[in-house]
Structure 1
Amino acid sequence: MQTIYVDVLIVLNIYVNYFLLRITSGITHSPLKTSRCIAASLYGSFFSLIILLPELGNITALIIKTAAAVSIVAISFGIHGKKRLIINTLAFFAANFVLAGTVYAVYSLFKPEFMHFNNACFYIDFSLLILILTTAALYGAVRLLRIWLDRTPEGSYRVFIRSRSKVIAVNGLADTGNGLVDFFSGSPVIICAADYFTELTGCELDISHLPRGFRLLPCTAVSGNGLIPVFRPDEVIISCTSGEKKPVDAVIGFGDCGGKAVFNPKLLKI
């Protein structure tokens, strides 16, 4: 029987959990603090110890893995309603299935001696130096890809926002600095000037008396932390200089933004 080193098993799973949670965050557009991600990765790594137990059977292993996934996601992203928790958990499961399926395919084809499967968990006996070098190379590749994807596209934009029978058109500004995401839906937030709140609703902006359908969302800016009113319109379309019109899934917020509709250019690529 293959020897399994617990320290290698724990480190491997911290490493894997961290990247799976980052992938989950990217899929669901849910904000993820590094401290929470590390804490959840460490917590989740202890569930990998079930590989040391006698074979539990598929149902028992699935129950344990499901409990682990839900609790890991809750620690990572917090609990912002049942729907949001389910969405994040399903995305985390999907990332796990892709990884596990890939690893199992390699295991089935080549039967390497340094890999071991049991109770829906896998173990890879690796060199710490190789892990560090691989992580550094992967991090560098991801950073370069992120820089390329996050570059601000050139051109001018118009953002059309429809709420019931009311439609407004606002000059748009693609800004990678707007990373604000709605906690409940995971949708990116497009920030408009307060004047457009009045144009849409017919009333002055007063965060203590918001119209039906609006709620407050915490946000962080250079000037400090605060709350902005947000709502989900019936339709949002971003028009580019090329004439292309792209419907986007976004929440509209109102705050100080220089009179334009400020959106993250990632919206144009989703």
Structure 2
Amino acid sequence: MIVYVDMILIENFIVNLFLLLITFKVLRYRYYKSIYLSAIIGSLYTLVLFYDNKVLVSIPFKIMVAILMIIISLKSINVLKTIKSVLSFIISSFILCGLTFSFSFLENYYSIFNSYSINNYSIKYLIIALMCFYIVSLRVADYIKDRAKVSNFIYDIEVSNEKKTIFIKGLLDTGNALTEPVTNLPCIIVEKDFLEEFSTKNSEEFTIPFKTIGEEGNLKGFKIKDVKIRGADMEWKIVDVVICKCKNKLSKENEFNALLSRGVI
């Protein structure tokens, strides 16, 4: 019998990833992208079948591998969540095993007088294809859902002076309450590359102190009369704000180039 190790690893990776996703979806637990690493670990574990080692194939060791896979994947870990996840993972494995074994009866002859052997099992690839479809569909659905959530907090911003008008996208940061302490005006943080032609004299500048987790300091800002914002299905609204320059890139995907404090809205 010829065994292709690469095919075994790929097939088991798909099965493990499918079972992990089913487990966390059923329990409604959030998971890290390290779920793929967990699926790889589970796939590599199948290689122990090629070694005559009773310890590695024992039930306690299998449970330890399952616990490791769950711990690597979960975002928040505690004893109860780990136990529930491991039990759900094992139950899902048994259900899938039972279903695939049942499907094998469709293509292989079975007699109570002889031992049962699986000589033909082409339906296996259909099952794996369905798993792949589920995995891809789930990732696409999660991506669309995340993008939809973000888009609800994206606002159009128009900043104008005598020389130039710019249009940028701003993300409403509901946890951001940054205001200028003297005027109590809310602040909009904008990437500095967009504000090169919006110069101001030092006397017109504001200094806004800020404090975040692990960082604190001061931002330089200035006031512009013509600042408008517009959300989805909304009209343009003139806002009285202080514009602050930011040296860092605010979005890796360039979805937005400004941050709005909740006072702006």
Query: Normalising by the residue count of structure 2, what TM-score does the alignment of the two structures yield?
Result: 0.43
Query: Normalising by the residue count of structure 1, what TM-score does the alignment of the two structures yield?
Result: 0.43
Structure with larger RCO (C-alpha < 8 A, sep 6+): 1
